[in-house]
Amino acid sequence: MSHEIASPSDLPLTDWMAPLKRLERAALLLAASGTAVVWVLPYLFFGTAVPEWILSRWYLMVCGPALLSGLVAFREYAGFAKAPVVIVCVALFSVGIAWTDPTELGRGALLAAGVLVPLPLAALIRRHDYLRPFLRAFSIATAGSLIFVVASTEGVQFGTLVDPTGTHTVNANSLGLQAALATLFLAMTFPRRKRLGAYIFVFLMAVLTFCCVTTASRTAFLALAGAFVVAMRFLGFRASLAVLAIAGAVVPCSLAINAVVDPAHPFYEGIVGRSEERR
């Protein structure tokens, strides 16, 4: 009796496709969490310079696997991204790099990648119906990175985020905007039917809200307000009350901490003013 190894074509579709599906979903989670924690890299090196090869290739390392899988899924699951007007606009945007000043070529390539890469990633997300886990991973990774920085940085001043050497390593507006987006995504996707899930949800929402307010950024403050409004608009009545309660408790507490820790720089300076010291 001979024992032949079955080829993939001889196996049921679900048997040999299951590992591939798990790998593709893991690649999506890597892209979401890796993108969320890129700003924390300087803290991981304890004040020393981050190697250039890591900074220049970080997005490629975390998004590369999902990008390759997304290119395969693009033809079937791209949806309106295959429309001629979208393809033409993306092509013109990419060709525009040729007219970019050499000193800004890296920034131009990064902006082009920011337009091109989400298209195959979105196709892969549609293929697996994985939007909620993807956004949830981004939110949890953002909250985790904020907790890590606050816990590991010495002498954190309210309204600023500095590394252990006292150097500003991130733009407060961009970080505050990310925290506000993570707040919205968490409110829309995190499961909280069970008691433990509800406790984790409240904790993560409080962390994201507090850190967003901590940036003392007008952009972050407006984005956070918008996130709460959108969340309450699309969530059910009970969930909306929970989000409103979190906002009503955490925001005043953040302002009170500001008044105690940094009385020389009131919170409203970062919201209504653009002084050189706060930017």
pLDDT per position as a tens digit, 188-219:
888 777 888 888 888 998 888 888 887 777 88
Label residue 46 by pLDDT band (50, 70, 90): low
**Each residue's pLDDT tens digit, 144-194:** 988 887 776 554 554 455 555 555 556 778 888 899 999 999 988 887 778
pTM of the complete model: 0.79
Q: Which of 157 and 107 is assigned the larger pLDDT? A: 107
**Each residue's pLDDT tens digit, 244-269:** 888 888 878 877 776 666 666 555 55
Please report, rounded to a whole number, the percentage of residues in the chain having pLDDT higher than 90: 14
Taking CA atoms, 10 is separated from 2, 5, 14, 198, in Å, by 16, 10, 12, 46
**Residue 110 parent element (H or E):** helix 105-116
- The single residue listed with the structure tokens 């009796």 is 1
Side-chain half-sphere exposure of 237, counting CA atoms within 13 A = 0
Q: Rounded to an integer, what distance in angstroms lies between the CA atom of residue 265 and that of residue 277?
A: 10
- Report the pLDDT value the prediction gives residue 41, as an integer from 0 to 100: 77
The mean pLDDT value for 73-88 works out to 85
Task: Report whether pLDDT(139) > 90.
Answer: yes
Report which DSSP code applies to 49.
P
Mean pLDDT across the chain, nearest whole number?
Answer: 77
Task: Report whether pLDDT(6) > 50.
Answer: no
**What ranges make up the beta strands (E) of the chain?**
none
- Report the pLDDT value the prediction gives residue 142, as an integer from 0 to 100: 93
- Report the pLDDT value the prediction gives residue 134, as an integer from 0 to 100: 94
Report which DSSP code applies to 277.
T
CA-closest candidate to residue 61, choices 93, 94, 37:
37
Task: Report whether pLDDT(230) > 80.
Answer: yes
Q: Which of 18 and 59 is assigned the larger pLDDT? A: 59
- Report the pLDDT value the prediction gives residue 11, as an integer from 0 to 100: 44
First-to-last C-alpha distance (Å) of the chain: 77
Q: Rounded to an integer, what distance in angstroms lies between the CA atom of residue 266 and that of residue 158?
A: 10
- Report the pLDDT value the prediction gives residue 169, as an integer from 0 to 100: 56
